[in-house]
Structure formats: C-alpha cells, structure tokens
Structure 1
Amino acid sequence: MNFRILANDGIDPIGKALLEEAGFQVDTDFISQDKLAEGLKNYDAITVRSATKVREELIDSCPNLRLIGRGGVGMDNIDVDYAISKGLAVVNTPAASSLSVAELVFSHLFTGVRFLYDSNRKMPLEGSEKFNDLKKAYAKGIELRGKKIGIIGFGRIGRETAKIALGLGMEVLAFDLYEVPNELILELAGGVQVTCPVQSVSMEELIKNSDFISLHVPFAEKAILGEKEFEQMKDSVGIVNCSRGGTIDENALIKALDSGKVAFAGLDVFENEPHPAKEILNHPKISLTPHIGASTNEAQERIGTELANLIIDFFKNK
C-alpha cells in the first residue's frame, strides 16, 4: 500500500507506527484550517481530534480524500452525512477514551466538594498571612459517598462515570433517550466483579433529585441545561460538563452560581472554544480544564491503535 495520511491533530506514536508498518505514509505536521483545502489535496485520508474541522467546503475541495478519521468520540467537527454522501468513509474511536473522561469528571467533583478550585488560587497569594482564615473558609466540604449523581446521557462515557460513582458508594440516576440498563458490573482489583443497581429516571426527576449532575451528550443546537432547569435543581447542586460546549447555557450557569443555587461547576468544554468567555474563566466557583477529557497517555494509545487499525482495514479491503 502507498497511501498518505495526514494526522492533522496528531496521533499516538503506536498508531503511527502501526500505519507505517502497514505501508502508509503518515504526516503529523499541522496544517492550519485556512490552508487545509490546498494542503490536503496530496493525501488519501485525514485524521483529526477536536481542533480541525472537516466541513462540506473542505470535502468538496479535496475529491482525492477517501477517509476521515476522528480520534475520539464526538463528530460535531465533521460533516459526517455529507462526507458519506460523497463516498467517503468516516470512522471514530468511541470507546477508547471513556474511562479517561469519566475520571476527569471525578477530578472536578472532588475539586468542587473540597473547594480546591478556589484554594489553589488563594493559597499561593494568601496562605502565609491568612492561613487560618482560609482554613475556616474551606472547612465545610462534603463527601461524595451517599449522594445522588444524575448522569445525562448514558452511553459509554456515562456508564464509565456511573461505575466510578457506584464504586464510591453514590446513588446513580440515569437519563438517556435510549434504554438505560438497571445494573452495571464493576470490575475491581484482582478480577473481582460486583453488580450494582442503576435507576433510570426522567429528565425532570434527574434535575430535581440529583446532588450532582454530569453531562455526557453530543453537541446540541439548544442547551440541555438552561435557566429553567437550574431553577428546578436542588439548592447547592454541583454541575460537571466534560461532554460538549453549548450543552450548558453559560449565562444561566453564571447566574445560578452567583445566586448560590449551584455550589460549583467543573467545566472541560466551553461554548466558544478555543476562546472561552472571560466571565467563565474568571469565576471563583468554577473548576477549569482546557478540553483534556481524553488526554491521558492510556487513552491516546488506545485511540491511536484503534484508529490505525480502522484505517488499515478500510484501505486493505479497497
């Protein structure tokens, strides 16, 4: 095989090696969006993560393209239906990063319930002079065990999030447009397996009864959580979004944080990436990460390997 692949947002070295061993030429030099239409004409396939967009105009400009690969889950940066209508294959790796994203959800939750988002900002500035004041300010943390976590979207990532919650002794309330299983199997150290219950609830029940809410849904034209939903939530609820920007109305979130309705938020994704609103970035009750849900060594290795095998299988059968 003598096919050329542009891994425009990078690819794990293991995935790159697999492709090269199979006879592919893999280039990882980034081509900016405005120059991509011209640069991509020399390639048979492109792989992207979340940064590069593959829209109709780009697809029309590159009739040489045969495959678009997405390293990860969400496909909202690719015009999938249009690509398929033009005869291109579109592949992604939906399972590879699920655990990494789920663990980041709990990084934000633990950060939120113990005020780390604020103490990490203030301790370097005030820790020497106001140690006891800060100790008092952060003395009312809470435990996650025994609390209810509402998971909106119960696909692969939602289920991995639920498994961690169940392992911590939390009660899981799950909502999805599709069927929700009534139990999940937890795989513990030493090969031990434990079956734990999950409650399938309506969106309204989840909103009203959850102590914490975690979003795991694809991009939506309209926010899933807006002013109406925040009003229906428990007082001092915690919100985490490691799914897609735009699924939370950020203005409504700020209002709910300022009023105390929402105790804290953990955000890995934002409405206006890669330029999040300053009001969000500077808010004292928000834990922030720059869209790194899948950015662990283990996840990137799994993504690279799976993506490479999907590409190899596609071109091998042509």
Structure 2
Amino acid sequence: MKVLIADSIDEKGVENLKEVADVIVDTKITPEELIKTIDQYDAIVVRSRTKLTKEIIEKADNLKIIARAGVGVDNVDVDAATKKGIMVVNTAESTTVTVAEHTMGLILTSARKIAIADKSVKSNKWEKAKFMGTELKNKTLGVLGMGRIGSQVVSRCKAFEMDAIVYDPYLPPEVAKNMGVELVNEVHDLLKEADFITIHVPLTPETKDLIDEEEFEIMKDNAFIVNCARGGIINEDALYNALKENKIGGAALDVYENEPPKDSKLFELDNIVLTPHIAASTNEAQRDAAIIAADEIVEVFKGKTPKNVLNLPAVDAATFQIVKPYLNICEKVGKFISQSITGKIKELEIIYCGELAEIDNQEILTRSILQGILAPVLNRAVNTINAPTIAKSRGIAVIEGKQCDVTTYDSVIKVKATTDEDSLYVEGTEILEPKIIKINDYNVDVKPDGNMFIAKYRDIPGTIGAIGTQLGKYEINIGTMQVGRDKIGGEAIMVLTIDHEIPEKITEAIKTLDNVHEAFALKL
C-alpha cells in the first residue's frame, strides 16, 4: 500500500503510517503534479493547502481513502469521491477540546474587554474606567448546536456558574435534561434570552446568514455573540451595524465570510475580538489530527470501515452492533440476485423484518445490497460509498420498508428485484453464518458462498438425476444440494454448491435437458 502525505502533519501520524505502508511525504506537490501521480496511491492525507478537485479525483483509480487532518472538507470534492467509491474521512474529534477552549477564551476576552485593554496598556495608557467588564456568573449561555464542541463549551461554562439554553433540532429532550440544559424550539427563543451566544453548527444553505439584521434586533442590548464555527453563519454587514449602533454588547469571531477578511469594516470597531481562524490550532490538536487520520487509513488497509467516514451514513455504536452481522448476507443476497435474474434490474423492493425493522436507519444495509447487485456486472469499483449513486444512474428504483412479524428468526431481509423480463424474490438471514432461506416461493437453506449452480425445472422423476449426470460427465463435484418445490409434479428449484466454476458450455447443455426451464452458474 502507498500513501501520499500532501500537507504537513504531526510526525507521529507519519510514523504510524510507515508501519503499514510505503509513505511519500511531498508537502509542496502542485495540482499539476498531483493529477499526474494520484493514481499511484491507495490513500492521501491533506489539510487545507491541497485541493482535491473533481479532475484530480477522477484520475485516482487506486485511491481508497482521502483523510483530511482537520474538521472541514471544503478542499475536497466529496461528491466526486463518492462517485469514484473513495472514502472521505476527517478528524473532527481531534479539535473538540481545542475549539471549546478557544470559544471560552473569546467569551472571557469579550466580557472583560481583555483585547482592547491590552492594546491600551501597550500604548502607555491607564484607562481603568473605560474597561468595565461583565461577570459570567448567573448569566445565560445560548448554544446554537449541541454537538461535540457545543456540549464541551456548556461543560466549561457551568464551571463559571452559568445557565445554558440550547437550540438543536436533533437533540432529544431527555438528553438535554441529562446534560442540565434547557432545550428551546426556535432560534429566536434562544436569542431573546441569552446573555452570551455561541455558534457550533455547520455552514449549510439553511444556516447561511442565520444571524442577520432581524436576529440582532431580537438580542439583548448587552448580549455578546461568538462564532468559532464557520464564516457566513453571521451576516457580517448586519453584525457591523449592530456593533456600531450598540444594539448588542460585543462580538468575537474566529471565522469569516471571506478569509482572510481583508479590509473588513469590522476592523474599525473596539467592541469585537478577531482571531485568524486559530480555534483548532494547538499542538495537541494537530498531533491528534495526524494520529486519527493515520488510524483511519490503517483501518481501511485492514479491510475495515473507519469511524469518521463522511460519505457513508452515520451509524451509532449500538445500532452498528445490530446491523453488523447482517452486512455480509445483504451483500450476498445482492450478488445472488444480480447473477440469477434475467434482464436489467429496474426496481428493488427491500423489506427489513424483526430486529432490523426496529432500528431507525437501515441505509447501510441497503447500500450493501446494492453493492452486491452492482459489483458483478460492472467493470469498476463498487462499494457501499458509491453504490447508491451508481444505482440511481442506472435507473434502479429502490423501495424500502419494514415488517415486524418474524417469529422464526431474529431478523430477515426480503428483497424482490424486477426487470423488464423477469422478477426474483430472495430472503436472507444470519444464523451464525449467512443463509438464503427462500427463493421465490421455495423454502431453502443455502449458504451463499463460492461457486454455485441453480436450475429451475419441472418436478418430474429423473430430472435431478439427469442434471447430476451432466455435471458428473464434466467432473463437476457437488458439495451441497438444496431443492424446493411448490407441489408434487409442479415447479421446482435446485441450488448446488460446487467445487469448481462451471464453464458456460455445461450450463447451456443442462438447459437443453427435458423439463429444465433455466440454469445458471454463480460465483459469490
């Protein structure tokens, strides 16, 4: 395996990668050089300097993972990576404490006018009366976004005996209660009550200009607002007017709409503290970012899924323990369908039953089914990252549902595939190992693994023997056999595991036998 480190990271991360891979460190590589050489690498580590554009990613034929040693991935075309089947990870947890501490620093600096007092003293002035401050004790902290960083800020502010109200539409009320914070339903409710407001949400179309002129009118006239999240969440023109007209007490920014904020009007004001996007800049955070990035790459090289993948659905630890045993059977069912059905698949109907029906999100399971369906028929890499995108581009409609009336097994995955010419229904489960338990209307007990052979035939005496004789004629040894039928003398199906791959000519010969309707070989 070969890894390119395209931006400077802590040496500890480099050392960890060298234990498992051939590591090339080129922190001055140009876009022109990168587009020519990116196909040589299995993994790449970047920070902010290197831009992984669509054009570069499309040339990355062997790349398995892009590791951003930091939080944002603005410099990575995630959509292009997803279509290419490349994992994109970041190291968000590495900066949690660091950003929370910087937020506290800005809150304290604003409340006690530390920055302008420092400037005054260094100008040989002694203006004590000018720098009357505000205590944090008994004040209300308003937190927009209670993720990793927001919750850490709350923890630290409680040490200053502050109360906390939070707005986060994804935070369950019982979790908020356990954290000792009051959960409000609207942003404006928070803005009306808070003495200090801190922002910890991503920049999205919904959060762009989240704090604008109307919001500043709502705030208390002595309120302070801090942003260490992303520039653009606060409208800077509206902020300038609010500060200049003393509609709020003060502000502190570490992030800006345009970086660096050249010749910003905010520079004129004394009631704002400005830092150059350094909330995540500590030795400890940079060290941890490098280690985490390296660890994620090592996981991929081990054939495992890293925990910080941005282009895979997020699955909490408890849910993952439930779905993990079924990922294999989902992929196997997909492969089985892909190689057993005639025609181009137009629609997939997937029903999750039993324990799997009770979890909130089955997306990772559906992705595994799609991976199994698409991989055997495409001459390109297909994985759980790009499978949904490829399925959509091929016109495959996916319908998902839940059904809880399962008594025999803990969970069952039911998949019906439909083409213009055919349809196929398969049920699978996990009982110590993957099992296919139903094919169309036939109950079976099949381990979907290795070389397999399926024949559909009329249930007439001698048909099974004829098929076996034909296989024996060509020295194809049968490992296991499962047969199912709808009724005596009716339609039947035979599923074999065999020791060797069956040549096409043998399959065609079996199709010519009396009472055999269909025959095909599979490799799972």
Task: Measure how far apart 1:268 and its partner are.
Answer: 0.9
Amino acid paired to 2:113:
F
Which structure's residues are more often strand, by fraction? 2
Identity fraction in percent: 39
Paired position in structure 1 for 2:66 = 68
RMSD after superposition: 2.3
Distance 1:182 1:99, change over 3 A: farther
Which runs of no fewer than 5 residues in structure 2 stay unpaired? Answer: 305-524
Output the amino acid matched with 1:137: K
Q: Which digits, 9 at most, give the CA deviation of each residue in 1:60-81, with x for residues without a partner?
A: 2444433211122223332223
- Residue 194 of structure 2 corresponds to 210
**Is 2:3–2:21's contact at 8 Å kept on the other side of the alignment?**
no
Distance apart, 1:276 and its partner CA: 4.3
| Offset, 1:41 | 5.0
1:57 Cα offset (Å): 3.0
Q: Which runs of 5+ in 1 are unaligned?
A: 186-194
CA–CA distance in 1 between the matches of 2:28 and 2:222? 44
Runs of 4+ in structure 1 displaced over 6 angstroms?
A: none
| C-alpha deviation, 1:160, in angstroms | 0.8
Query: TM-score of the superposition, structure 1-length normalised?
Result: 0.86
C-alpha displacement at 1:163, in angstroms? 0.8
Q: Cα distance 1:54–1:280, how it changes in 2: closer, same or farther (>3 A)? A: farther
Distance 1:199 1:43, change over 3 A: same
Deviations 1:241-263 (A, max 9, x none): 10011111111111111011122
- CA change 1:171–1:182 in 2 (3 A) is farther
Secondary structure at 2:249's aligned position in 1? strand
Larger mean Cα displacement after TM superposition, 212-221 or 32-41 = 32-41
- Provide the rounded CA distance (Å) in 1 between the counterparts of 2:32 and 2:39: 14
| Higher gyration radius (CA) | 2
Kindly report which structure 2 residues correspond to 1:243-258, keeping only aligned pairs within 5 A, or say none: 243-258=229-244
Instruction: After TM superposition, give the deviation of residue 35 of structure 1 in Å.
Output: 6.0
Secondary structure, counterpart of 1:83 in structure 2: helix
* Change beyond 3 A, Cα 1:58–1:245: farther
From the superposition, tell whether residues 58 and 155 of structure 1 become closer, same or farther in structure 2 (CA, over 3 Å): same
Residue-by-residue CA offset, 1:96-125 (whole Å, 9 max, x unaligned): 211110000010011101111212222212
Corresponding residue for 2:182?
199
- Structure 1, residues 146-173: CA drift from partner, whole Å, max 9, x if none? 1111111111111111111112111111
Query: 2:110 and 2:174 mapped to 1: Cα distance?
Result: 28
1:39-68 C-alpha deviation (Å, 9 max, x unpaired): 645543322234443332332244443321
- Normalised TM-score (structure 2): 0.54
1:154 aligns with 2:143: no
1:188 aligns to what?
none
Q: Secondary structure at the match of 2:44?
A: strand
Change (3 A) 1:112 1:208: same
Per chain length, whose mean CA-contact separation is higher, i.e. which structure has more relative contact order (CA < 8 Å, sep 6+)?
Answer: 1
The change in CA–CA distance for 1:226 and 1:58 in structure 2 (over 3 A counts) is farther
Structure 1 residues 311 and 278, CA, compared in 2 at 3 Å: closer, same or farther?
same
Shift of the 255–37 alpha-carbon distance from structure 1 to 2, 3 Å rule, reads farther
User: Which residue identity lines up with residue 232 of structure 1 in the other structure?
Assistant: I
Change (3 A) 1:214 1:312: same
CA contact (8 A) 2:145 2:201 kept: yes
Question: How many Å separate the matches in 1 of 2:218 and 2:49?
Answer: 35
Contact 1:48 1:69 in 2 (8 A): yes
Q: Distance in 2 between matches of 1:34 and 1:107?
A: 41
1:215-226 maps to which residues of 2 (within 5 A)?
215-221=199-205, 222-226=208-212
User: Are 2:168 and 1:169 equivalent residues in the alignment?
Assistant: no
Residue 163 of structure 1 aligns with an amino acid whose one-letter code is S
242, 258, 283: which one aligns with 2:269: 283
Q: Distance in 2 between matches of 1:120 and 1:34?
A: 46
The equivalent of 2:11 in structure 1 is: 13
2:27 to 5, 26, 29: 29
Amino acid at match of 2:169: L
Total equivalences in the alignment: 301
Q: How does 1:133-152 map to 2 (within 5 A)?
A: 134-138=127-131, 140-152=132-144
8 Å Cα contact 1:74/1:218 also seen in 2: no
